[in-house]
Amino acid sequence: MQADIDELIHPGQNPAENIAEGENYEDYILSDNELSDFITNKLGFTINPEDRCVANKVINGAQCTILWHVDDLKLLHIDQSVLDQVLAKLNERFGKEQPLTKSGGKVHDYLRMRLDYTTVGQVAITTMYDYIDNVLADVPSNMQTCTYALPATANLFNVNDNAKSLNKQSSEDFHT
């Protein structure tokens, strides 16, 4: 089911731009556990068993969904006032130093993808070209170039049979 209205939520600015010498970038990244605990325990959402970065709750007779990746959130609900209420609660908790920013409407750039909801009941992931063009524009002119058949190194599929597996907690910590 596709909601007619959705919001993208971001922290105010890129924290990497404002980190003082000696501070850790990780201190500025929203803890996945902190966010999921707040969404479930304070807002009453249920984490999706198939993807722990998706939570749902029925509000005013319609499903409200929160998706997140690191510090980017996407809220979906058919009623704008519900989105505003959820955003206000997220801002109370996570926007103390700087308010969360939002964008609404039918077309969003989210996680470097352009998501287009203009056709009812469908979402089109239209391009990443703008992002790719910006990345390529930032490549130094003196950078050595070469061509590869695959965007991977030759040892991509080599497995270290002696490598120690991550424990359950570490595995969850590194989940994306």
User: To the nearest whole number, what is the mean pLDDT of the chain?
Assistant: 77
Q: How far apart are the first and last CA of the chain?
A: 24
Residue 17 banded pLDDT, cuts 50, 70, 90: very low
Q: What's 5-104's CATH class? A: alpha beta
What pLDDT, in 10s, does the model give residues 19-69?
444 445 454 445 667 888 899 999 999 999 898 889 999 999 999 999 888
Smallest CA-to-CA distance from 104 within 129, 87, 128 is with 87
Residue-level pLDDT at 157: 76
Taking the C-alpha atoms of residue 148 and residue 105, their distance in angstroms, rounded to an integer, is 39
- Other CB atoms within a 10 A radius of the CB of residue 36 amount to 17
Residue-level pLDDT at 12: 44
Q: Phi, psi (5° rounding) for residue 14? A: -65, 115
| The model's pTM | 0.57
Rounded average pLDDT over 68-93:
88
Contacts of 39 (CB under 8 A, 6+ apart): 45, 47, 55, 66
- Each domain of the chain, given as residue ranges in start order, spans 5-104, 106-141
